[in-house]
Structure 1
Amino acid sequence: MASTASGARLSVWRTSISTQWRLRRFVMADYDQVAALWSEAGDGLQIRPSDQPEGLALKLTRDSDLFLVAETTAGLVVGVIVGAWDGRRGWLHHLAVHRAFRRQGIATALVAATEEALRAKGCLKVNLLVQKANASAIHLYRSLGYSDMTSICAMGKELAPDANEAAAQPAALGK
């Protein structure tokens, strides 16, 4: 069995309604399947330039034990989560499960394994951002004990233009 840095056993095969699956660390050979999962997921999941192979390879150098996939016995990647640890807070990003494999405990297992790895690093609190329109994700996270942070205003700033935006506005960049 493979273990995370925290000693968590990820390769335990689990039987769900239709197939067996296990959790394991993401490897770059999974990229095409993971990218397809993220694209198929829809539900407000935004793919950024940092989600391209180069960005994910960099992610693996920092905390590969927080980047997990769910894989069937046939080798099909059917779930993914990207966790992050900044030394103070843990973060959950890009949780996705293939539509045909939802409601089989995969998302719950991915979140639990990521939380366990974060806890082993000394993390005391985990945050996440989810699109308000993604009712199924909100329901899942609430069922796992996550609550709305009503006193917080989520904000962001793009430090590098999105590749799609840059391609759509080449003339504006020269002015």
Structure 2
Amino acid sequence: MHQIDTYQDNPHRQQVIALWTDVFGRSTGHNDPALSIDKKLAVDDGLFFVALVDGRVVGTTLGGYDGHRGWLYSVAVARAFRSSGIGAALVRRAEQALAQRGCTKINLQIVGSNAGVADFYQSLGYEVEDRISMGRKVAGNIPATD
């Protein structure tokens, strides 16, 4: 049985870093897990959720809300716990928190190399939209890597 909690830095930090490194396979630049955690905590919006099994972090999701649109980020579930409902529970918890803030639409992006996860999101009611996603890194805010 799992539970969904709000992230707490002390007990969860190292476990989230390990999970994201395993699931996303990235640990440098703007996607460095420690940097991502610190940046999210600085916003202090209560939209960082973890799934716990026996006190161990097995999943995460981050929500974002700018007053107009909501976003889901860093939805990750440990391989051993996939297809157990944890991913859906995390998404639903973030959706609930965003809806409580007045959010009327929630967006997410899928990395091209992970396009197979689209079926999961479609099963939760998300639709592929005709958009071009663009981004620009702010180099001055990204720590140098070794």
Q: TM-score, normalised by structure 1?
A: 0.73
Within-5 A mapping of 1:11-90: 20-29=1-10, 30-42=12-24, 48-49=29-30, 51-53=32-34, 55-73=36-54, 75-90=55-70
Identify which range, 116-125 or 141-150, moves more after superposition: 141-150
Q: Does the C-alpha gap of structure 1 residues 25 and 160 become closer, same or farther in structure 2, counting only changes over 3 Å?
A: same
The answer to whether the 8 Å contact 2:75/2:87 transfers is yes
Shift of 1:145: 0.9
Task: Establish whether residue 108 from structure 1 lines up as the match of residue 88 from structure 2.
Answer: yes
The answer to whether the 8 Å contact 1:25/1:64 transfers is no
Whole-angstrom CA distance in 2 between matches of 1:126 and 1:47: 27
Q: Which has the larger radius of gyration?
A: 1
Shift of 1:45: 6.6
Structure 2 residue aligned with 1:128 = 108
Identity %: 38
Whole-angstrom CA distance in 1 between matches of 2:44 and 2:117: 24
Q: Does the C-alpha gap of structure 1 residues 67 and 124 become closer, same or farther in structure 2, counting only changes over 3 Å?
A: same
Query: Cα RMSD over matched residues?
Result: 2.3
Gaps of 5+ in 2: none
Gaps of 5+ in 1: 1-19, 169-175
Structure 2 residue aligned with 1:10 = none
Shift of 1:52: 4.5
Count of aligned pairs between the two proteins: 144
Aligned with residue 138 of structure 2, among 154, 159, 166:
159
Q: TM-score, normalised by structure 2?
A: 0.86
